[in-house]
Amino acid sequence: MTRTIAVTGAAGSIAYSLLFRLAAGAVYGAEPVRLRLLEVPQAVDRLEGVLMELADCAYPTLLEATATDDPDEAFAEADAALLIGAAPRTQGMDRADLLRANGEVFRAHGAALGRSAKADVRVVVVGNPANTNALIAAHHASHQQRADGQRIDPSRFTALTRLDHNRALGMLAQKVQAPVESIERVAIWGNHSNTQVPDLADALIDGRPAPAVLSEVCGGAANARAWVRDEFIPQVANRGAAIISARGASSAASAASAALDHLRDWTFGTNGARVSMAVRSGGEYGVPEGLVSSFPCTVDADGAHRIVDGLDLDDDRRARIGASVAELAAERDEAAALGFV
Ligand code: NDP
């Protein structure tokens, strides 16, 4: 089966870390891919350079790669779309300014996806504010008249919190000196912002509850709780800023890697494992219906994502999730006031 994948912001730094792995089979293995790269008109020349390098890799799995500044052309018959392109947050810009700039982008891209992509397209929003951009794009996609009479369901639009999930996994693995693959059930809840809730209360390390293992490593349950509260949660939530200050540039390779993890797991299933994805809420765990919030999810073999149900959240997690979800609701209200939804 040949897959058609659209990537926006394709001349940017995250895309530069992502496209070569995608073309080489990081998501679809040996299945051939067609890449449709979208950029703003002033960056299309730079994209030509990316196309040249993709050709020079001579990947057996890359059937074709094309560049355009026309969203309908980029999204035509797309099986998946990675929406990375977004106006950057510049100095002095507040959240409303960012939402105003990117609301326009995601309104246009959502509408074009609604008209042109396959009805069962998988959309992964990376550009910030990712959750609310996904909500805006889903809204406009689902209101389009399509030639085939179908309608893209808003659940086909997701936002990336897998990077936060992977950061949490990496940090816990380092703390307890265990391999990453021995850890399961880490979760991220809420918004992809510094209000996010990295959660390892239900995590297992080699099948043992993570709080018990941490208690041994930290020298007692109280120390373990303090590490989670004072180091783990704030460091995961603020890792992006730490990377900018250390590297002088924002994280690109890890963001790209997480986006590929998200798309691969959503496409082929997680075999029961929990991953974090920001998906449209149906009212689960008190998150208002329609918000795009991060939850622990599993993906069935046929590619249907499901929010893990029946988790018993303590007061601390409830309060933290409530605060992050309140931020999402405020972003949605700002988007509505700006006429984006
Ligand atoms: P990046 O490729 O570094 O980032 C792109 C977007 O991803 C930003 O919104 C960024 O948010 C977000 N992002 C999400 N997670 C992360 C993370 N962990 N680390 C870093 N960024 C993250 O930006 P570039 O400026 O290099 O490239 C963006 C490209 O998008 C440009 O080539 C530009 O021309 C294009 N673009 C396309 C548009 C379109 O197609 N209509 C519209 C606007 C831009 P944050 O800013 O918060 O870091």
307-331: pLDDT as tens digits? 999 999 999 999 999 999 999 999 9
Is residue 42 located within the same domain as residue 88? yes
For residue 9 and ligand 1, the question of a CB distance below 6 A is answered with yes
| Phi, psi angle pair for 264, to nearest 5° | -65, -45
- Ligand 1 centre to CA of 55 (Å) is 24
Active site residue 192: yes
Q: Is residue 15 part of a domain?
A: yes
Tell me, what DSSP letter sits at residue 229? Answer: I
Domain that holds residue 89: 3-159
**Is the shortest distance between the CB of 12 and ligand 1 below 6 Å?**
yes
171 Cβ below 6 A of ligand 1: no
Torsion, Cα of 17, 23, 26, 30 (10° steps): -170
Per-residue pLDDT of 247-297, as tens digits, reads 999 999 999 999 999 999 999 999 999 999 999 999 999 999 999 999 999
| DSSP string across 165-204 | HHHHHHHHHHHHT--GGGEE--EEEB-SSTT-EEE-TT-E
Q: Residues near 111 by Cβ (< 8 Å), separated by ≥ 6?
A: 140, 141, 143, 144
Residue 144 shares a structural domain with residue 189? no
Point out the ligand 1 atom lying closest to the alpha carbon of residue 11.
32
Tell me, yes or no, whether 183 and 75 share the same domain.
Answer: no
Same domain, 135 and 22: yes
Residue 83, token pair as written in the block: 């929406």
Annotate 285-318 with DSSP letters as a single string. GGPPTT-EEEEEEEE-TTS-EEE-------HHHH
Per residue in 137-179, pLDDT (tens digit) is 999 999 998 888 999 999 999 999 999 999 999 999 999 999 9
Q: How far is the CA of 340 from the centre of ligand 1 (A)?
A: 20
Q: Is 87 in the same domain as 174?
A: no
Burial 17-49 (b: 16+ CB within 10 A, else e): bbbbebbebbbbeeebbbbbbbbeeebbeebee
CA atoms within 13 A on the CB side of 144: 28
Asked if 60 and 41 sit in the same domain, the reply is yes
Work out whether strand 187-189 and strand 197-199 pair parallel, antiparallel, or are unpaired: antiparallel
6 lines ligand 1 (CB under 6 A): no
CA 184–ligand 1 middle distance (angstroms): 30
User: Residue 341 falls within a domain, yes or no?
Assistant: no
Number of domains in the chain: 2
CATH of the domain at 248: 3.90.110.10
Ligand 1 in reach of 251 Cβ (< 6 A): yes
Residue 253 Cα to ligand 1 midpoint, Å, equals 13
With 0.95 as the threshold, say if the pTM is over it.
yes
- Annotated ligand binding at 131? The verdict is no
Same domain, 134 and 233: no
Q: Do 218 and 330 belong to one domain?
A: yes
Residue 340 lies in a domain: no
Domain end marker among 159, 176, 192 = 159
